[in-house]
Amino acid sequence: MAAALLEQGEDAFRRLFKYYKRRQPPPDLSGGIVDFSRAQQNCKVLITPLNVTSISDQEARKAGLQPVCKWKAYGLDDYPGFMFISDPFLPGWQRYWAKQCLKIYPRKPNVCNLDLHMSRDETTDLWEQSREQLRLKVPGKREAKSLLEKLRWVTLGYHYNWETKKYSPDHFTAFPTDLAYLSEQVAAACGFQQFKAEAGILNYYHFDSSLGIHVDESEIDCSKPLLSFSFGQSAVFLLGGLKRQDPPLPMFIHSGDIVIMSGRSRLFYHAVPRIVPNPEGRAIPSCLENVMARDSCSADTSYQQSDEGDWEICMKYLQNSRINMTVRQVVGVGQSFPITSETGKVAGSQPYSYHQDAEEDHEHKRQKLETATESP
């Protein structure tokens, strides 16, 4: 079915996006989608050797990663610069990142979608405001959403302005040191030794969410890779080409997987039309149930073992959700921001965003998510 849609030419990306997004009848997810976690591989998939000495085992461990020699890294024929690393995290570390995304990173001064129509006081600690509601949530029962469940995005470092589609030197707050360290190790392992984590966009998805077709092109230096880390339920990810009409390749992204877009693929169109249950069919994937080894949280790292109470809340959230962290370098060495009158402050009005869920589909019928183009 998906293959037939591709042959029809004319904005094949949009057609496939709509196919995978639709509810009734649901799309066929049983074939034609690259799954890097399965032994049976698509002929486009290439095993990509990494330089195992690019980062030391100790550096990898400090970032919560297995030694590089154990990573399973792939590329794709015809997608130069695209890399896929199948869950290289050490036990317990996926939990750590999921908790950071839910408890720590949404805090001020970071910016989130709720700031656009709520006061600073109301969005000061989404975790505290949501934890009890989430803890008491009965799976499957329709209940009011907690603020954490209404969270769609958080920006870090240089805060991406969704209205102007730009970053500004005037709107920068310290990038989280733990996430910078993880990103810099992953980038180095993939051959980008000088990568600097300067901006992050965290995307929060539920089973009815999608992310429209877009290119990440707002960074001033697009020669640096874009790193993308995913936790929780799985996603169907569509990777197109430089032109909007180029037919995309569908692939699954599972919990712990890392996608790197660099080189020519850095400016390829992509989208997330659908969030799907994890392939194990469990409430949450087993890789998220692992706890951290004692020596991973010793004094040489600033990381703390998740406490069980917090994890209970994260689990409730992740049963229906997926979290994605994208990390970018904005300016290259010797580069500066173009002179502009842009202040970079969050605008009071609702900016155009490519995040959407079923309720918003109804609310913003005319916004046609699937035709959204530019984004970071």
Does 234 interact with ligand SIN (rule: CB under 6 A)? no
Q: Which two tokens stand for residue 242?
A: 């430089």
Q: Are 180 and 197 in contact (CB under 8 A)?
A: yes
Does 327 interact with ligand SIN (rule: CB under 6 A)? no
Query: Cβ 211 to ligand SIN, closest distance in Å?
Result: 6
User: From the list 270, 274, 316, 355, which residue makes contact with ligand SIN (rule: CB under 6 A)?
Assistant: 270
User: From the list 126, 211, 275, 318, which residue makes contact with ligand SIN (rule: CB under 6 A)?
Assistant: 211
**Applying CB under 6 A, which part among 121-129, 230-238, 282-290, 364-372 lies near ligand SIN?**
230-238
Please give the Cα distance from 145 to 314 (Å, whole number): 15
User: From the list 188, 238, 253, 292, which residue makes contact with ligand SIN (rule: CB under 6 A)?
Assistant: 253
Please give the Cα distance from 345 to 343 (Å, whole number): 5
Query: Cβ 157 to ligand SIN, closest distance in Å?
Result: 15
**For residues 81-120, which are near ligand SIN according to CB under 6 A?**
none
Task: Using DSSP bridges, classify how beta strands 226-232 and 45-47 pair: parallel, antiparallel or unpaired.
Answer: unpaired
Q: Count the Cβ atoms, other than its own, within 10 Å of residue 339.
A: 6
Which CB, 272 or 318, lies closer to ligand SIN? 272
Q: Which two tokens stand for residue 204?
A: 């929060």
User: From the list 130, 230, 255, 296, which residue makes contact with ligand SIN (rule: CB under 6 A)?
Assistant: 230
Does 272 interact with ligand SIN (rule: CB under 6 A)? yes
Query: Cβ 214 to ligand SIN, closest distance in Å?
Result: 7
Does 355 interact with ligand SIN (rule: CB under 6 A)? no
Which CB, 130 or 228, lies closer to ligand SIN? 228
Q: Which DSSP symbol is given to 131?
A: H
Query: Cβ 326 to ligand SIN, closest distance in Å?
Result: 5
Query: Cβ 233 to ligand SIN, closest distance in Å?
Result: 11
Q: Are 320 and 206 in contact (CB under 8 A)?
A: yes
Q: Which two tokens stand for residue 36?
A: 């890097």
Cα→Cα distances 305→4, 94, 97, 205, 287, Å = 49, 11, 11, 25, 16
Burial of 9 (0-12, 13-18, 19+ CB in 10 A): exposed
Which CB, 68 or 211, lies closer to ligand SIN? 211
From the list 115, 148, 159, the residue with the least C-alpha distance to 328 is: 159
Does 203 interact with ligand SIN (rule: CB under 6 A)? yes
Which CB, 16 or 292, lies closer to ligand SIN? 16
Q: What's the full length of the chain, in residues?
A: 376
Please give the Cα distance from 278 to 227 (Å, whole number): 21
Q: Which residue is nearest to ligand SIN (CB)?
A: 324
Site of interaction with ligand SIN (CB under 6 A): 203, 211, 228, 230, 235, 237, 253, 270, 272, 324, 326
